[in-house]
Structure 1
């Protein structure tokens, strides 16, 4: 008996630690949240230099084989495209025929792939599924279809089980100079690879018709590549929508069997894909630049080794300046400049104390790294692909978009030849490195944030701020639940007139009422996710109407969720504490689940939701102390900023200019997230909005 009492009086160390944190939950919350924000600001300093993990890639180990003859052939090919009739009815016919003719002349296999525009309608039950590109309108015409042209080179040293894809998008409605250059680069690479003997993987050249969008053209072809379609567009196989013609040179085009063109051809499993684009407008740069876009849907990223070999070959092989997207508003931020100065001073101090502590960073480097990190975090959190390369990640294929920007020059012809040579040799080197792989990319990172083209933050580092941000949630939830149970127990003892009172037996289950409220609010949030689908059924529905729905429905629902409270002060206090405890627990679960789907969304969501949930408390009409005033003001600020439409406009104002913003822009943004099947849309409707509503209900409680 004495041993049992000793065990009860001396709980295990982990329990004592938990009780200590619960008793000091306010201090734990402040320390953890501030530490999480500080750790997030430290990420540009903690970033590491990129390195190639897979030794088999061996970038730059072989000399480029692309010659001036290949460039000359590419120039002739580009001239043929430029000399075509610029009318849309001719371009959509002539460009695919011209590309197919040259692919066939080089000994490659060629076929056309027809697809229609993507329908806007989306069923809620198929939210996370890949859109079916075979679904087209009943009244389609041949002129409304896009035509991809696909060329395949069978590897002389391969077994046909693997392939490398090269994508060059162009708009058949009005082809631009940059698109012609991209097609020329694709032609020169395909021409070279059709003659080499070292290929171990098949090469696929996809000249994608982007008249319905670059992403649409690629995803339609990918869907049929992996899931053959029967019916739908298959009925067009009997008729060829391309008409015979001749080119400006006066030589008739050789006849290609229509049945061969319409026979869908496949190669092996794709090891990687490269989307090549050339910027239409030249910019005043010190030298030619290469922009890399890597973000795919729901924060997915390609293997870091793919970016590393492109960066290595571009910088050290072709002398290109490599760029990744930045949050340009951060580059002129005064507070970020001041923070960079503090970190620079601390880094110098640390290095003076110990030369091995290499934490020194200049102000310019910190600002540049922070702007790039913010852009990488934002693009991943948005969940929308930054280019047509995003379609490949849905099939677990590593892909990036390479956009080349060239200098302005009076000698355009020489600059064009130089651009073709440098770009072609770069892509040749990347393909040669991927060709060396015996398996898919797997050695390097898939979860990372970029701070520059050659620096990154791995998931093991950037998960620390998130862990610190959400750490207070379970602690505060447990502390509130314990306090509410104690208050409820004291109230039961005070009002009990008999030992046999049944309410004493079930007093520990009073939190179920709060859990029921939380469940109803989250179910209401799930119904809010259907707004874009329901709005599509309403004729003449405008974005402004959608925003007003987002404002009116939550306010009405908020009034319904604020149930009448009991008259006893102790009972009322216990009820709002139970409600806040379950709300915080639900927020913790929602953020944790979101971190599995899209870590960047969870990171940004934690910054917004954690202080709002922790600060929520019933507003007091009576001014009792300075703490009451500050707490009430903070609650009102968080309730105002936490409402999703207002959060959108505040963040947009912090990043961009609000002068050109309309009230319907929030609805347009939400609908775009819905159409792209972004998990961020689900997070906003089913985690962020319910947490805001529950915090608002807590504010309206009677303390």
Structure 2
């Protein structure tokens, strides 16, 4: 009876790497070695060894042999190794190691390199450097295409007959379209030479076989070098099977077919011709002195006249799915996903994975206009500062009375808005004051907002920010160039006030807590908030851009501010409180991780954060450091930014809304960083599917009866019937219990938050023990049921995190890494193992992580929970939902599995 497909492929796949011949191994090792050498910064390996047309000369001819070993990055090297290895291994097995060495360090590399340099430099007049082994790949593909064409001239798709030699050409164009930064001309040069070599036009350049034999004999290469393929070991085709043009193998007694070349073999090959081709399984072993003709005739007789049988192929595929060896792969694949996802994240600050920022919206024209704020405006600013300083310590109403009189004196329409929020037992009430400067050249359909909160997020009085906004309002009033209304918003705080005003502006407010706005303008196009607390002159400006729930403003707005402040005004620009950024890898990584942490928490970081959920791009500007810049310089930055926003004909949409900034002029877009979180989330889905398949395997598989005939198919292995009631009940209970901490920590008073947290910490430790003990006593769960509990919980976790990654990448990545141990926990019969696993899981539980974070940052747990409650009620932050309703139920189900003591029970078996 023919074996299934796994009998052939599994064994060969396991030993494939160990059978690679010598030159192929050397090429792979050289590629990896050059990549490792390129990690250092002393010598630029890419610049030294790449094929650069302008650098070619007598002293740099070595580049024609070094460029295939040098790659842009690790992924470039891995893809080329995977593509090159089977082609190079086949070529070496057919021509010998010494021939490969001579050809690939000779004509097969030099000719395509010279062809590329000639075309690129003298025909197209360019100087595009190329590197990588993909030129070898297309060269070998061209040779294989010619060989395939001689055996099978065409293949049929529908009613069309397509020549087989065109396959590499299609691959050439597909690579040029799908693979970024690929060299079409370089690949084409390798393909042309490959076609020529396959047709025999460069055969005269091959080294004579007599000389190669003489070198091998003198140096005894076969005896000294492992995995060496000598001239006498050449196979001229894999395992001596000669192709035929009609696709049918004939073994007529009158035709004696034999292997081309010597019959000497140092190894014994086993060839499987299995059910995929409809024939019988034959072992063809060629030993020293074996008769090649007789062995090949036996093989051809066994395969004669057979046709492809799809039912047998499908049966083999299904058998592969049930092969128990397949179930050994998912845990390692899951671990690989986590490791690759984490490493991917740490590669992002490198130049190869990040990009320089640029302005996508041409209408912005940042820094292209002359700013006039200054001169006599400085005297006005001083007067306003005295007025503001006299208001420090007074009530919100008294402050607004004075400020409203000043704004009305400027000729602007003013209005007030009351709001009241209740969170953590506190009442956050206040009154917003705002004014509208109607655009002389507009029709009140669009507006820009200038915000200044009386207190910033650190509850410091904005002593310079308020006077600067009033001075700018007076200055803007004198200009007739505005095509958009300018709204001046003065709020009592930086979180609740702006949130209430923006909600009411878009009619999305709760009228019982937030009053409606008496007057409005048009659609908001952007907002700039000023947080100017320090008294002395400043050196640089800090841009705060993080929004609620990890949302970000359009990158063009940040780039415009950077261009105006850093380029036009000569200021330093900082992000994420990185005051001294040297644009090296450590500072880039810290900036990126700080941004990810803030976005993962989802809290409002300034007055601008409330605007971003309504698709209003906004940032907060904070001066810092000691330098020679004063309030007038900050005012000119705001003026330049407003002038750029005033140029817009439509809302900002050209640039990115999903990105990670690591320097003021360097970022990573979503297409580059998203795979890291997706890989981490995918590990949970992989383990969930693995556990589902494992739960369907019975403890003891009944012995199958021996078929009467070898033509009958292998009986399908039995499948254990899954008991889903208890696993679904445990997972549902875990999800239902998550509503308790979500409600409690968002609705109790501030004074009760800390005691309740420590009480919950104790309950959190005892709850898994209680669920596990109760279920063991009442239901006696089996190992299958524990597998299903873990499978369902991981499936939900992976599904939620993969969806969340597209909305809040940082939060999904953070929770995914903290939940990674859940993929590998399992019930154990050893009490010590259960205790250790439970303790380790408790160290990564949501309460434990919160407690550790408070200790690291030197904060009070009660303060953190209060801020989370305020964010829940005021700004609508959903981080608490993700923590308590996604992460915590998965952790609880994982602890139940760790503490489980599965009963020895014979699984129910049913036929699949």
Structure-1-length-normalised TM-score:
0.74
3-state SS of paired residue (1:271): strand
Aligned to 2:626: 407
How many angstroms does 1:554 deviate by? 5.6
How many angstroms does 1:381 deviate by? 0.5
2:827 matched to 1:618?
yes
**Distance in 1 of aligned mates of 2:496 and 2:853:** 30
How many residues get paired? Answer: 580
2:262 matched to 1:11?
no
2:464 matched to 1:181?
yes
Cα 1:231–1:473 shift into 2, 3 Å: closer
**Distance in 1 of aligned mates of 2:514 and 2:876:** 27
How many angstroms does 1:20 deviate by? 8.3
Aligned to 1:30: 335
**Distance in 2 of aligned mates of 1:484 and 1:692:** 20
Out of 644-653 and 583-592, give the one that drifted further. Answer: 644-653
Check whether the contact 2:854–2:861 (CA below 8 A) recurs between aligned residues.
Answer: no
**Distance in 2 of aligned mates of 1:683 and 1:18:** 37
**Distance in 2 of aligned mates of 1:665 and 1:234:** 25
Aligned to 1:422: 633
Cα 1:316–1:12 shift into 2, 3 Å: farther
How many angstroms does 1:73 deviate by? 2.4
Check whether the contact 2:330–2:686 (CA below 8 A) recurs between aligned residues.
Answer: yes
2:714 matched to 1:460?
no
Please list, as runs of the form range in 1=range in 2, the aligned pairs for 1:447-596 lying within 5 A after superposition.
447-487=658-698, 490=701, 508-532=721-745, 535-536=748-749, 541-552=752-763, 555-556=766-767, 558-565=769-776, 572-596=782-806
User: Which is greater in Rg?
Assistant: 2
Structure 1: runs of 5+ lacking an equivalent: 123-135, 138-143, 236-261, 332-361, 409-414, 494-503, 624-628
Check whether the contact 1:294–1:301 (CA below 8 A) recurs between aligned residues.
Answer: yes
Cα 1:371–1:5 shift into 2, 3 Å: same
Check whether the contact 1:597–1:679 (CA below 8 A) recurs between aligned residues.
Answer: no
**Distance in 1 of aligned mates of 2:831 and 2:495:** 58
Equivalent of residue 276 in structure 1, options 523, 527, 530? 530
How many angstroms does 1:85 deviate by? 6.4
Cα 1:546–1:446 shift into 2, 3 Å: same
**Distance in 2 of aligned mates of 1:534 and 1:92:** 29
Check whether the contact 2:341–2:679 (CA below 8 A) recurs between aligned residues.
Answer: yes
Check whether the contact 1:21–1:28 (CA below 8 A) recurs between aligned residues.
Answer: no
Higher relative contact order (CA 8 A, sep 6+): 1
3-state SS of paired residue (2:819): helix
**Distance in 2 of aligned mates of 1:234 and 1:583:** 40
Cα 1:267–1:607 shift into 2, 3 Å: same
Aligned to 1:604: 814
Cα 1:441–1:592 shift into 2, 3 Å: same
Check whether the contact 1:292–1:402 (CA below 8 A) recurs between aligned residues.
Answer: yes
How many angstroms does 1:509 deviate by? 3.9
Check whether the contact 2:357–2:665 (CA below 8 A) recurs between aligned residues.
Answer: yes
> CA offsets, 1:226-268, max 9 Å, x none?
3298987999xxxxxxxxxxxxxxxxxxxxxxxxxx9922111
2:376 matched to 1:69?
yes
Aligned to 2:593: 374
How many angstroms does 1:518 deviate by? 1.2
CA RMSD across the alignment? 3.9
Check whether the contact 1:532–1:674 (CA below 8 A) recurs between aligned residues.
Answer: no
**Distance in 2 of aligned mates of 1:634 and 1:48:** 45
Equivalent of residue 656 in structure 1, options 849, 857, 860? 857
Check whether the contact 1:558–1:693 (CA below 8 A) recurs between aligned residues.
Answer: no
Cα 1:596–1:519 shift into 2, 3 Å: farther
3-state SS of paired residue (1:471): helix
How many angstroms does 1:219 deviate by? 2.1
Aligned to 1:638: 840
**Distance in 2 of aligned mates of 1:533 and 1:376:** 25
> CA offsets, 1:521-543, max 9 Å, x none?
1122233322235635xx97352
**Distance in 2 of aligned mates of 1:558 and 1:391:** 43
**Distance in 2 of aligned mates of 1:687 and 1:268:** 40
> CA offsets, 1:618-656, max 9 Å, x none?
133288xxxxx7xx6873453122221112233445x53
Structure 2: runs of 5+ lacking an equivalent: 1-277, 279-307, 705-716, 903-912
Cα 1:31–1:387 shift into 2, 3 Å: same
**Distance in 2 of aligned mates of 1:19 and 1:399:** 56
**Distance in 1 of aligned mates of 2:510 and 2:779:** 69
3-state SS of paired residue (2:489): strand
Cα 1:690–1:327 shift into 2, 3 Å: farther
**Distance in 2 of aligned mates of 1:472 and 1:73:** 61
**Distance in 2 of aligned mates of 1:28 and 1:686:** 27
Aligned to 1:103: 407
3-state SS of paired residue (1:442): coil
**Distance in 2 of aligned mates of 1:436 and 1:18:** 65
3-state SS of paired residue (1:28): helix
**Distance in 2 of aligned mates of 1:234 and 1:650:** 37
Cα 1:639–1:452 shift into 2, 3 Å: same
2:478 matched to 1:192?
no
**Distance in 2 of aligned mates of 1:478 and 1:640:** 25
**Distance in 1 of aligned mates of 2:643 and 2:831:** 74
**Distance in 2 of aligned mates of 1:472 and 1:230:** 41
**Distance in 2 of aligned mates of 1:56 and 1:25:** 52
Cα 1:20–1:426 shift into 2, 3 Å: farther
Cα 1:7–1:404 shift into 2, 3 Å: same
**Distance in 2 of aligned mates of 1:446 and 1:290:** 22
**Distance in 2 of aligned mates of 1:469 and 1:277:** 38
> CA offsets, 1:177-202, max 9 Å, x none?
x7332123212322222122221111
How many angstroms does 1:117 deviate by? 4.2
2:877 matched to 1:678?
yes
Check whether the contact 1:166–1:275 (CA below 8 A) recurs between aligned residues.
Answer: yes
How many angstroms does 1:34 deviate by? 1.4
Aligned to 1:155: 439
Aligned to 1:169: 453
Aligned to 1:48: 355
How many angstroms does 1:462 deviate by? 1.3
Structure-2-length-normalised TM-score:
0.58
3-state SS of paired residue (1:473): helix
Cα 1:576–1:390 shift into 2, 3 Å: same
2:725 matched to 1:442?
no
3-state SS of paired residue (1:529): helix
**Distance in 2 of aligned mates of 1:298 and 1:325:** 17
2:854 matched to 1:690?
no
Aligned to 2:552: 301
Out of 399-408 and 297-306, give the one that drifted further. Answer: 399-408
Out of 677-686 and 96-105, give the one that drifted further. Answer: 96-105
